[in-house]
């Protein structure tokens, strides 16, 4: 037998071991969609958005890594699920994202507009599409996406733990004089090494976030303190967290803002109950802002979202008519002044489970209804003869 060519990739007879649990879950979700089509008197659904592609395939990605535009879509009828894809992407997609999941392929040359294939399949059928004017299908699918399965919970636990690890490692290693962009790059590197896509990275230093609550990062150098925040995605699911590091003693104003934000966050987490209307929880959060003399601070930026297959499945706010769903995940990230705290929780039958668990990080004691809910404190580092050391 001749040796393999160095110009060919290393081959394997089994690129992926079949995941029976995932196959069963894909079948279950297909069944939910089939019921939806029947209720709406529809023949099929065309799913183009990555969040819906990931939901139905239990984590499959229909984008090229580093890009947001989808390269494939799903055409789903009550009896079949087809993937519509260009020839240049179909092999990788079926080998790495959809192996053994029961999807059929409808392929087109890369030179042909994808809409030609879409129109051919939709012609003469009543088809719901998840993008375009109205987006009715996508809005309805949000209810399916928010009701995460046990399989999703296990993956979110691993994702949340690793996202927190990456943020805390970046906070421990950053040095005064580094730029925000350098720290953001180090954080992205840690995430990518673990197969996590950095969807949103923020390094907000020396009060920048007080002016711009959605600041990302820049070439500005870190001098006194910084808030490092990220939302990461893996297996189609998202989790977010943040941590604050200070060089030297934190200003009293920053300590006060951080404690206020932590109390708001703990209150929101504690009162995120399955079956509760968002507004019920929001009323309790608003009281904390009022109690500390900042009744309008929440207006500066969003406070929380249901998170999962989308970064924002539903925003938690005073005008929302939605309710929390047991088994869903919520990203609480309130901000006060230059302080910002963020973590992701899973709503359970008995309360909530913290997903973004820290590792030997200093904690701030917080009580809600006499229940201890310690939240991450500001991580302080002090200058010494051998550089900056940790002060817990």
Give the pLDDT confidence of 170-214 residue by residue, as tens digits.
Answer: 999 999 999 999 999 999 999 999 999 999 999 999 999 899 999
| Chain centroid, CA 114 distance in Å | 28
Q: Tell me, what's the pLDDT at 135?
A: 62
> Do 269 and 371 fall into the same domain?
yes
pLDDT of residue 74: 96
Q: Are residues 134 and 164 in the same domain?
A: no
Identify whether residues 102 and 166 lie together within a single domain: no
Domains: count for the chain: 2
Those residues with Cβ within 8 angstroms of residue 52's Cβ, 6 or more apart along the chain or in another chain? 74, 130, 138, 141, 145, 309
112 and 196 housed in the same domain:
no
Higher pLDDT, 9 or 124: 124
Position 12 in a domain: no
Give pLDDT, residue 392. 41
* Residues 197 and 95 both lie in one domain: no
CATH number, domain of 190, equals 3.90.230.10
DSSP-assigned states of every residue in 313-351: SEEESTT---B--TT-EEEE--EETTEE--EEEEEETTE
Scanning the structure block, which residue is given the tokens 């089994």? 14
Q: How confident is the model at residue 113 (pLDDT cuts 50, 70, 90)?
A: confident
Q: Using CA atoms, how far apart are residues 370 and 338, in angstroms rounded to an integer?
A: 28
334 in the same domain as 275:
yes
Q: Specify the pairing of strand 225-234 against strand 237-247.
A: antiparallel
Distances (CA, A) of 241 to 30, 159, 167, 185, 202: 32, 11, 8, 17, 11
* Least reliable range by pLDDT among 67-76, 110-119, 194-203, 211-220: 110-119
Q: What is the pTM of this model?
A: 0.92
* Residue 2, in any domain of the structure: no
Identify which has the larger pLDDT, 243 or 1. Answer: 243
Q: How would residue 13 be classed by pLDDT, with cut points 50, 70 and 90? A: very low
Mean pLDDT over residues 39-64, rounded? Answer: 96
Q: Does 336 map to a domain?
A: yes
Same domain for 184 and 264, yes or no, is yes
Could you give the count of Cα atoms lying within 13 Å of 12 in the half-sphere of its Cβ?
Answer: 6
Decide if 3 is inside a domain: no
Do the bridges between strand 127-129 and strand 44-47 make them parallel or antiparallel, or are there none, so unpaired? parallel
Question: Which strands sit side by side in the sheet containing 44-47, from one edge to the other?
Answer: 104-108, 81-86, 72-76, 44-47, 127-129
CB distance 314 to 186 below 8 Å: no
pLDDT confidence of 127, banded at 50, 70, 90? very high
Q: Tell which of 130, 146, 162 closes a domain.
A: 146
Q: Average pLDDT of 328-355?
A: 97
Residue 108 pLDDT exceeds 70 = yes
Domain check: are 274 and 226 in the same one? yes
Looking at the structure, do residues 123 and 154 belong to the same domain, yes or no?
A: no
Q: What is the pLDDT of residue 350?
A: 92
Residues 342 and 257 in one domain: yes
Domain containing residue 66: CATH number = 3.40.350.10
- Does residue 173 lie within any of the structural domains? yes
Q: Which domain holds residue 186?
A: 150-391
Asked if residue 5 belongs to a domain, the reply is no
**Domain edge (last residue) among 117, 146, 175:** 146
Give burial (CB, 10 Å; 0-12/13-18/19+) of 99. Answer: middle
Do residue 234 and residue 316 come from a single domain? yes
Average pLDDT, the chain: 92
Q: State the pLDDT confidence band at 134, using cuts at 50, 70 and 90.
A: low
14 located within any domain: no
Domain's final residue, options 127, 146, 165: 146
Residue 377 included in any domain: yes
Residue 251 is classified by DSSP as P
Residue found by looking up tokens 């109205």 in the block: 134
SS3 of residue 169 by DSSP: helix
- DSSP class of residue 299? G
Cβ neighbours of 212 (radius 10 Å):
11
| Average pLDDT rounded to a whole number, residues 80-98 | 94
Q: Is the Cβ–Cβ distance between 344 and 334 less than 8 Å?
A: no
Give one word for 16, left, alpha or beta, with left for phi > 0 and alpha for psi -120 to 50. Answer: beta
Q: What pLDDT is stored for residue 203 in this prediction?
A: 98
DSSP 197-220: EEEEEEEEETTHHHH-TT----SP
**Cα 203 to Cα 92, 156, 243, 246, distances in angstroms:** 34, 23, 10, 13
Give whichever of 69-73, 117-121, 305-309 has the largest mean pLDDT: 305-309
- Whether residues 207 and 90 fall in one domain: no
Query: DSSP of 356-373, one letter per residue?
Result: S--SS--EE--EETTEE-
């Amino acid at each position: 037998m001749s040796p393999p060519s160095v110009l060919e990739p290393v081959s394997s007879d089994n690129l992926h071991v079949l995941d029976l649990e995932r196959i069963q879950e894909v079948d279950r979700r297909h069944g939910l969609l089939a019921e939806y089509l029947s209720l709406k008197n529809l023949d099929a659904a065309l799913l183009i958005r990555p969040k819906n592609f990931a939901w139905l395939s239990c984590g499959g990605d229909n984008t090229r890594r580093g890009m947001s535009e989808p390269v494939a879509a799903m055409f789903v009828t009550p009896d079949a699920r087809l993937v519509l894809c260009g020839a240049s992407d179909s092999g990788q997609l079926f080998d790495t994202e959809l192996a053994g999941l029961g999807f059929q392929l409808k392929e087109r040359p890369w030179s042909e507009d994808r809409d030609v294939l879409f129109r051919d399949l939709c012609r003469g059928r009543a088809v719901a599409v998840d993008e375009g004017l109205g987006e009715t299908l996508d809005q309805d699918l949000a209810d399916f996406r928010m009701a995460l399965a046990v399989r999703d919970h296990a993956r979110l636990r691993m994702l949340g733990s690793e996202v927190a690890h990456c943020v805390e490692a970046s906070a421990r290693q950053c040095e005064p004089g580094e730029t925000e962009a350098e720290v953001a790059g180090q954080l992205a590197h840690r995430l990518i090494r673990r197969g996590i896509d950095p969807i949103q990275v923020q390094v907000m230093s020396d009060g920048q976030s007080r002016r711009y609550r959605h600041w990302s990062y820049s070439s500005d150098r870190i001098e006194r303190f910084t808030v490092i925040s990220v939302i990461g995605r893996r297996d189609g699911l998202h989790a977010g967290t943040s941590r604050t590091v200070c060089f030297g003693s934190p200003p009293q104003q920053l300590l006060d803002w951080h404690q206020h934000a932590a109390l708001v966050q703990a209150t929101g987490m504690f009162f995120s109950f399955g079956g509760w209307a968002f507004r019920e929880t929001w009323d309790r959060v608003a009281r904390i802002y009022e109690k500390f003399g900042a009744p309008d601070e929440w207006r500066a930026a969003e406070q929380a979202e249901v998170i999962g297959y989308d970064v924002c499945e539903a925003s938690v706010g005073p005008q929302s008519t939605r309710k929390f769903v047991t088994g869903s995940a919520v990203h609480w990230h309130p901000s006060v002044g230059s302080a910002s705290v963020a973590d992701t929780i899973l709503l359970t039958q008995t309360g909530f489970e913290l997903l973004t668990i820290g590792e030997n990080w200093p904690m701030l004691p917080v009580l809600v209804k006499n229940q201890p809910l310690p939240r991450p404190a500001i991580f302080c580092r002090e200058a010494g003869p051998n550089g900056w050391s940790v002060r817990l």
